[in-house]
Amino acid sequence: MKGAGRAASHQSPHRAAEAAAPRTLPRHVGEGAACLSRGAQRGRTGPHLPLLIALSIGHLLTDVNQGAVPALLPFLRDAYGLSYAVVGSLLMVSNITSSVVQPLFGYYSDRSHRRWLLPLGIAAAGLGVAVAGWVRPPLLYLAVALSGLGVACYHPEASRISRYLGGDRRATGMSVYSIGGNVGFALGPVAVGLVLAVGGMRGTALLLVPALVGTLAFTGLLPVLGRTEEAMAARMGRGDKVPARPRWRAEVMLLTVVTLRSLFQFGLVAYLAFYNVEALGGTKEGANQLLFVFLASGAVGTLVGGPLADRLGTRTVLVGSLALVSLLHPLLLHAGRVLVFPVAALLGLALVSTFSITLVMSQEFLPHHVGMASGLNIGLSIGLGGVGAAVLGAVADRWGVPATLWLLELFPLLALALGLLLPEPRPRLSRAATVAGAGGTPRGQER
């Protein structure tokens, strides 16, 4: 018993809370716990909306830069005479640096507090895109990489914190956090259009202003964020049923689904604008508007998908969304210059709504490694999908953009087939069992 106590003392507060389910809260989190007293009396903990909204705004300020990169590509291609292969490689650099290294940040997030990564990530993401309009290749690759690393800093830590701030309604809480990223990514093309209209290619420097404001705001918010997170983590440790072992097989299957979804999404984001110009005869401005419609509708889908997943189950909503995507994509390629906008909106709604759902599922499959699960889900898997953007660029150079977009249809179909084989995440305790569990350690947590 003494050895077990010493081992538990080296665990992170969240893992200790999940494994041991303490009867009393530490004094240093008493202030944050006070705001949860009513939820404790009911045996339930609702989402902490103010801080989730704050994290969502930070998510927006980070991902607006990631969304700006594909919107800049047509302008960079014209300015420097880039081939589609080079355009794809720039997108690949952006996605690798913003995604593949995320599990490393998540690994350390699980073992000690790294909340300072939040303001650092916002600053680096904005700085990289701000200088992108001022440099030519190969320095352009370095600017894109800096912005990507800023994105990688922010996501695992913010996703880990959002899990606890979501309380009993994790999918809903993750949706609130995720919508900021969806809106930010959608605003990227709009922001690019505005700054380029004001200052030409060097107008990208204006994107540094919101990044600096967000960096200063989050630096001041860190103490409050820390106190409240610790309180809610301790509260959830009382009433949550956490499996003793990670479910790695299910996690690998889920990561494969996310990779296939990423291949489809980034391929569509990279070449939808070119399709609008070359196949439909639209303008570059109209292409960016189409890209905005596609991505902004995903924000609406995020708000709908999270609460729906809390009611119907994450796997059910995921499979249904993938089936809808598989049907809508061929319609998009048959639509004309006018109908392409509403079809793109429906497609974006169905596709992007699955983001928060797969993130929650990943954390449920690896409940003691939520930071790493977040990094693997929104980092490594999406990064691997981004690598495919370079391959798709070579396909577009060889056979054209329309053929490349038709090739994308394979990915949601494969993801749907694999999604049907996914197990349900381990079910949470019923409300009655949660209330009973609040008085002691629930079954399933004993080591």
pLDDT tens digits, one per residue of 97-119: 887 788 887 877 777 777 888 99
Is pLDDT above 70 for 220? Answer: yes
Of 28-42, 158-172, 223-237, the poorest mean pLDDT is in 28-42
For 45-426, CATH number? 1.20.1250.20
Give the CA angle between residues 436, 442, 447 to the nearest 5°: 165
Predicted confidence band of residue 27 (pLDDT cuts 50, 70, 90): very low
Distance of alpha carbon 200 from alpha carbon 205, whole angstroms: 10
- Domain segments of the chain as ranges: 45-426
Is pLDDT above 60 for 2? Answer: no
Q: With CA atoms as reference, report the closest residue to 241 among 373, 370, 367.
A: 367
- pTM recorded for the entire structure: 0.69
**Distance (Å) of CA 319 to CA 38, 101, 380:** 36, 28, 22
Q: Mean of the pLDDT values across residues 231-250?
A: 67
End-to-end CA distance of the chain: 12
Of 243-257, 297-311, 375-389, the poorest mean pLDDT is in 375-389
Look at residue 226 in the predicted model and tell me its pLDDT.
81
Return the H-helix or E-strand segment holding 148: helix 139-165
With a CB cutoff of 8 Å and minimum separation 6, the contacts of 98 are 66, 147, 148, 149, 150, 151, 152, 379, 383
With a CB cutoff of 8 Å and minimum separation 6, the contacts of 248 are 365, 366
Structure tokens at 365: 């499959």
Give the CA angle between residues 187, 189, 190 to the nearest 5°: 60
Predicted confidence band of residue 21 (pLDDT cuts 50, 70, 90): very low
What is the 3-state secondary structure of 189-226? HHHHHHHHHHHHHHHHHHHHHHHHHHHHHHHHHHHHHH
